[in-house]
Amino acid sequence: MLVNLKKILAPAYEKHYAVGSFNCYSYETFRGCIAAGEEMGAPVIAAFGAAYLANMSLETAHAIAASLAREADVPVCLHLDHCSEIDVICRAIKAGFGSVMYDGSALPFAENVANTRAVCRAAHACGVSVEAELGSLGVGVDSHEGRAEDVEQYTDPEAARDFIAATEVDALAVSIGTVHGLYKGKPYIRTDILEEIHRAVDVPLVLHGGSGTPEEDLRACIARGIAKINVNTEISSAVVAQTTQLLTREKPHYSTLSLRQVDYVKTVVKKYIELFECR
């Protein structure tokens, strides 16, 4: 069943576990993500990034997610990820997405507040949840999000408190040392900053850049208010690597290859569901 983000994150935030947000941009990724949640008895967030509009339309993404979610007995949220274009966000709301992320993190604080507040008013009137972002992540290896020129900027706890009060956003993505993609060196996750943010705000916090983040760091983040963790690159890397290995051994029919790729997606998603302790 499709639900909005708030319905999934509220219990996670209260009970100190996290829900995985897994990027979906093809039938195989949607099916693998949702099937993993069903097999594990856990809610999942199918995140369709605005960067993947070349792969399929918002309407097609919703049609696939809705069809698969109808057959699942766990909550599924179809979420528009990392979108800075308000017209695209409005189209996603109209298409039936249960959650949208307005990413104004590159804008001056006042402009980010004004735009996020406008998105929240429109989305909330339709029963749709809103995620926003303060601070910015750096770009690691094999990233398919962000820009090469992005510079890491940690989220300021006081700014986070003021931002949430002014916008009434449902979830806030923070920057504490994770990266989009895979790390170039040893990760240094600022859980001290996260703890300050957690004390300053009263909404679920979101960690982007879950791929490759050490398990102990993820657990520490969950204990400090992170209720949603995004995973993208690790799924892509695993599917490409395993598909390459498969094709060196055999030449399956394309329909069989698709089913194998669903399984590859499921394996990574189930690993993170187990780690996030959301069952």
What span, in angstroms and rounded, lies between the C-alpha atoms of 58 and 100? 12
The secondary element (H helix, E strand) that includes residue 173 is strand 171-174
Instruction: Enter the DSSP assignment of 57.
Output: -
Q: Whose CA is closest to 80, among 106, 59, 50, 117? A: 50
Structure tokens at 44: 């999942």
Task: Please say whether the dihedral angle defined by the alpha carbons of residues 80, 84, 88 and 90, taken in this order, is positive or negative.
Answer: positive
Active-site pick, 81, 156, 170, 217? 81
Confirm whether 150 is a catalytic residue: no
Q: Are 204 and 227 in contact (CB under 8 A)?
A: yes
Residue 32: exposure state from Cβ atoms within 10 A (0-12, 13-18, ≥19): buried
The Cα–Cα gap between 25 and 205 comes to: 24
Active site residues: 81
